[in-house]
Amino acid sequence: MNNNETYLLYSALCYEEGHSRRTQHILKVYALAKLLGEWEKISEKEQQILQAAAILHDIAIKYCKENYNGDASQENQKKEAPRLVKKFLEEANYAPEYIPQIIELVLKHHDYDTPRDKLLQLLMEADLIINCYESHPDRSKMAQIQDVFQTSAGKELLKKYKGK
């Protein structure tokens, strides 16, 4: 089966070996990215790219923690992510034409100050909403987060977050 998203999700969850926060984070960001993409009526191909990027967006954290003395900095993740993302996608039979864009989304999903296309916007919004529920940003951080948002569904869902 081509672009086997079910297998991709399965293998990403297995890779995390039951790590509680990262396992749940994958599932939450995946679900919300799917919702935001469908809300914005992106194409079927874009939806597949967005959902694969959501599954893999933090995939380098575990490898970096294990191989850089616990240092999963953005810099280290950016070094390791392309190889890991490519491996996971190939094992899930993603067509080669999908892979570069998914790697790019993973690499840029924290680059809030650079220009971004629709898919990166959607991935960022999904990740940021989930991060609010997970790490409860303070007021000033919250204001920065709000500035990133552009889509109507993303803005609305962010507004629902009420803090701890």
| Contacting positions for Fe ion (CB under 5 A) | 58, 127
Collapse the DSSP code of 163 into the 3-class scheme (helix H, G, I; strand E, B; otherwise coil) and give the result: coil
Nearest distance from C-beta of residue 18 to Fe ion, angstroms? 18
The CB-nearest residue to Fe ion is 127
From residue 125, alpha-carbon distances to 23, 25, 49 in Å are 19, 14, 16
Q: Which two tokens stand for residue 152?
A: 């109507």
Q: What is the smallest separation between the CB atom of 97 and Fe ion, expressed in angstroms?
A: 25
Looking at the Cβ atoms of 89 and 124, the one nearer to Fe ion is 124
Complex with Fe ion: residue 16 or 127, whichever CB lies closer: 127
How many residues belong to the chain? 164
Q: How far is the CB of 143 from Fe ion (least distance, A)?
A: 20
d(C-alpha 111, C-alpha 123), whole Å: 11
Query: Which of 58, 80 has the CB closer to Fe ion?
Result: 58
